[in-house]
Amino acid sequence: MKLLEYQAKKIFAQWGIPVPSGAPIFRSSQLTGAIQKAGGFPVVLKAQVYAGGRGKAGGIVKVRDLREARLAAGRLLGKRLVTRQTGPRGAPVKALLAEESLTVLKEMYVSVLLDRSRQMPVVVASSEGGVAIEELAKEKPEAILTTPFDPVSGLGLPRARRIAERLKIPRKARKEAVQQLLKLAQGFLKLDASLVEVNPWALTREKGLAALDGKLTLDDSGLFRHPELAPFKTADADSPSEAKSREIGINYVGLNGQVGCMVNGAGLAMATMDLIKLHGGEPANFLDVGGGADVNQVREAFKLILADSNVKSVLVNIFGGIMKCDVIAQGIVQAARAIKLKVPLVIRLEGTNVKLGREILRGSKLGFVTATDLNEAAKLAVKAAKK
Amino acid sequence: MSILVDKNTCLIVQGITGKAGSFHAAQMRSYGTRIAAGVTPGRGGEKWEGIPVFNTVAEAKAKTQANASCIFVPAAFGADAVREAVQAKIPLVIVITEGIPALDMVKIKRGLSPRQTVIIGPNGPGIITPGQCKIGIMPGYIHKPGPVGVVSRSGTLTYEAVWQLTGLGLGQSTCLGIGGDSIPGTGFVEILKMFQADPRTKAIVLIGEIGGTAEEEAADFIRAHVTKPVVAFVAGATAPPEKRMGHAGAVIAQGQGTHASKIKALKTAGVTVAPNPAQIGSTLAKLLRRAPS
C-alpha cells in the first residue's frame, strides 16, 4: 500500500521528523483554511499523486496571493496530472497539499527500504538530494551510500553516526540528523514498511533538518498488524476498478489495451498478457482471480473487466489446481447470463475437473469460443478484438 | 534421485484441521505422500482421517518419523508456524501460506542455519517429485517422472509449463515453486545448485517474473556453475512499472526488476529463453534434440 505525501508526512511528524506546516485540500472551499495552516503566503501547492516527477509536470506551484492560489488549485484539483512516471493517461489529482515555503540551505536524500538481493533492510543516503535516486544511481553511483542493518537490533547509533559523517552534514545539524536517521529506520520496522523515502531531506533556515517530500510504501502483508492505518487503505487505488477489485478480493490492474483477461495465478496472468502482446494485441488488464475463487468472485471479476469500455474481447485462461474448472465454468455461465455479453469470450480451461467444466460451457449454448491450447486461445482473443 | 523430497519423505501438516490443510492433506495422501502427523494447537490427541494430531511441531517430530513439514495456516499465524518448525529442527519446511510480512521472513532467515532447515516458499505451490511425493497444492496428475527439473516463482504458470513438458513426453525429476514473495525462504541459486548436483536431473526449466533481481543472480550462477541445459521464461513483459502484479514480489520498483534486464542477463549467461509462455516445453524439447546429453 502506498501513501500520499500528506499522509506520509503526517506519519513522519508522529515519528518526530519535522515537516513543513500545512494541510491537505480536497475541495477548493478548503483552500483558505489550508493556507492559514501553512502560515500564510507564499505557499506551495503540491498535487497529491502516487507518481514522482511532479515538479517538472507542473504539479508543484508556489503561489503568492489568493488569486494565484485559486488559479493553481482550479488547474490541478480534480484533473489528471501527467508526469514521466504516470504514463500518458496521467494520475487523478484528488487532493492538494498546501505547505509553507521554507528556505533551503542544503538538500540531501535518505530512504529506508527492503533490499531484495541483500535480503536486509538498508538505509540509502546521499548528500545530493532533490533529484530522483534512479538518475543519481546512473550518473553518480559513488554519491550514494548504502547501509544494511539487522531488522531485530535496528540501525543503531554507530551506523547512524557514520552515515551523518559521510553525508558531510554541518556540525550543528549532525546530532539531529543522527536522531532522524534512527527514527526513520525505527519507523520503517515498526510499520512493516517496504519503502520510506525523504527527498529532499533538507537543512532549512526555519525548521532545521526537515522532510520536504515524503514517500511511504507499506508491505500489504503486514497491514493486519496496523489497524491504525485503515483510514489510508482504499485511497491508494488508481481507479475505481482497482478499489472495487480489493472489495471482491481479487487482483486487478487496469491497462490500456482491448483484450480483457481473466486468469488464475499471478504468473500465468502476466504470461497471458505477454502472449496477447506477442500475437499483436494489447491486454486491457491484469486480473488474477486467485486460487480459491468462488462463483460470485468470478461473476464480479467479469463485471470489472467489462466495465472497461475499451475491452473488445475477453480471454479466460484457467489452469485448475486448487481452482476447479467446473466452478469457473459455472461462474462464467452465470456471469454471461446476468450481464448479457456484448463482446466475444474465448475460454481455455485445463486442469482439475476440466471435462466437467467444458461440458458446462458447451451445455450453456451461450456461444463461447473454446480453445484447448494457450497459444490458440490468445490468437483467437486477439483476432476477435480486431473485428 | 531427485531433490529435497522422495518416497522416504515423511510429512507433518501444520494446519491439518483447517479447510485448505485438510483438503490438500487428503490430496497429498492419495498421491502417495507419507503423512505422519498433523499439528493444530489445541487439537492435540485428536485424529484426522486416522492421522494423529499434535499441539506442537516439536511433539509431532518427537513421536513420528517426520522429516518435513507443510504449512497451511492463515497469514497472521504463518510466521509463527514457520518459526516453530525451524525451532523443532525440521529439515524441510514448505510454506503454502500467502501474506507473511516480508520483514518476518528476513528475521526468520537471519536466525536460520540452512544446513539445519531449508524453507521453500512462502506463497508457493510446494514441491513434487513425480510418482514419489507431492507436498503442496499442485494437481498431481499433470506430472510424470523424468529428467527435467522445474523451478519457478509462480504456481499456475508452473503447472502450464509442466503440462507442456508432460505432453511432449518430457517427465520431471522434481518441480517446485520458490514462491511469489519478495523474500523467499530459498532462492533460485540454491535450487539450481541442487539440480546441478542431482544425477537424475538432465535439464532445467526456470520460470521467473518481474520484480527483484533473483533471475539476474540465477543467470550469474548458471554461467559459472551449471553445465546442464537450461530453458527460462520470464513473465511480465507487458507489466507496467510500480504496479504490484498479484504476487507481493512482482513489482518493478525504483527502476529495478524489469523484464528486459532479466532476459538480457539470462541470454548473456547462455540460457535459452522461451519466447512465448505456450512454448516453454517445445523450446526445451528442441534444445535437447540439438544437444543430446
Q: What is the pLDDT of residues B81-134, one digit of tens each?
A: 999 999 999 999 999 999 999 999 999 999 888 789 999 999 999 999 999 999
Give pLDDT tens digits for A326-363: 888 888 898 888 887 889 999 999 988 889 999 999 99
Closest residue in A to B236 (Cα–Cα):
A270
Q: Output the CA–CA distances (angstroms, integers) from residue A118 to A113, A150, B262, in the order listed.
A: 11, 11, 18
Contacts of B224 by beta carbon, 8 Å cutoff, 6+ apart: none
Measured between alpha carbons, how far is A244 from A231 in angstroms, rounded to an integer? 16
For residue A322, list chain B residues with Cβ-Cβ distance below 8 A. 20, 24, 137
pLDDT for position B291: 65
CB of A216 less than 8 A from some CB of B: no
- Residue B268 CB: number of other CB atoms within 10 A? 12
pTM above 0.90, yes or no: yes
Rounded to 5°, the CA angle B36-B39-B43 comes to 120
Q: In this complex, is the C-beta atom of B138 within 8 Å of any C-beta atom belonging to chain A?
A: yes
Catalytic residues of B: 247
Check if A320 contacts B (Cβ < 8 Å).
Answer: yes
pLDDT at residue B255, rounded to an integer: 73
Instruction: Please report the pLDDT score of residue B277 as a whole number.
Output: 96
Distance from C-alpha of A365 to C-alpha of A344, rounded to nearest angstrom: 14
Alpha-carbon gap, residue B82 to B104, rounded angstroms: 10
* ipTM of predicted complex: 0.92
* A5, A100, A197, A300: the active-site residue: A197
Whether B270 has its CB under 8 Å from any CB of chain A: the answer is no
CB pairs under 8 A between A and B: 185
Closest CA in chain B for residue A350: B160
pLDDT in tens, A234-293: 555 567 788 888 888 889 999 989 999 999 999 999 999 999 999 999 999 999 988 767
3-state secondary structure A114-173: EECCCCEEEEEEECCCCCCHHHHHHHCHHHEEEEECECCCECCHHHHHHHHHHCCCCHHH
Q: What is the pLDDT of residue B292?
A: 53
Q: Does B244 touch chain A (CB under 8 A)?
A: yes
Residue-level pLDDT at A236 = 57
> B152: which 3 cell numbers?
519457478
Chain B residue numbers touching A320 (CB-CB < 8 A): 139
Read off the DSSP letter of residue B279: G
Res B6: pLDDT: 97
Q: Write down the pLDDT at residue A7.
A: 95
Please give the residue of chain B at the shortest CA–CA distance from A238.
B243
Active-site entry in A107, A109, A252, A300? A109
Residue B1: per-residue pLDDT: 65
Contacting residues of B for A150, CB less than 8 Å apart: 110
Per-residue pLDDT, A320: 82
Nearest CA distance, A41 vs chain B (angstrom): 35
Chain A contact present for B75, CB below 8 A: yes
Q: Measuring CA to CA, which residue among B143, B168, B173 is closest to residue B4?
A: B173
DSSP A33-99: HHHHHTTSSSEEEEE--SSS-TTTTT-EEEE-SHHHHHHHHHHHTTSEE--TTT-TT-EE---EEEE
The residue in chain B having the minimum alpha-carbon distance to the alpha carbon of residue A256 is B240
Mean pLDDT of A94-108: 96
Alpha carbon distances (Å) from B222 to B86, B113, B232, B271, B282: 29, 24, 11, 8, 21
Give the model's pLDDT for residue A296. Answer: 83
CB contact under 8 A, A253 and B142: no
Q: Which of B37, B191, B219 is nearest to B119 (CA)?
A: B191
Cell numbers at B31, concatenated:
498421491
- Confidence band of A85 (pLDDT split at 50, 70, 90): confident
* Cα gap A193→B195, rounded to integer Å: 35
- Annotated active-site residue A109? The verdict is yes
Radius of gyration in angstroms for the set of CA atoms belonging to chain B, rounded to a whole number: 18
Min Cα separation A39/chain B (Å):
34
Q: Assess A151–B contact: CB distance below 8 Å, yes or no.
A: yes
Mutant choice from B156, B165, B205, B233 vs A, greatest count of A C-beta within 10 A: B156
**What confidence tens digit (pLDDT) does each residue in A190-229 have?**
999 999 999 999 999 999 999 999 999 999 999 999 998 8
Does pLDDT of A137 surpass 90? no
- What is the tens place of the pLDDT at every residue in A140-184? 888 999 999 999 999 999 999 999 999 999 999 999 999 999 999
- The minimum CA-CA distance between B200 and chain A, rounded to whole Å, is 27
Q: How confident is the model at residue A132 (pLDDT cuts 50, 70, 90)?
A: confident
Q: CA angle, corner A35, sides to A30 and A36, nearest 5? A: 105
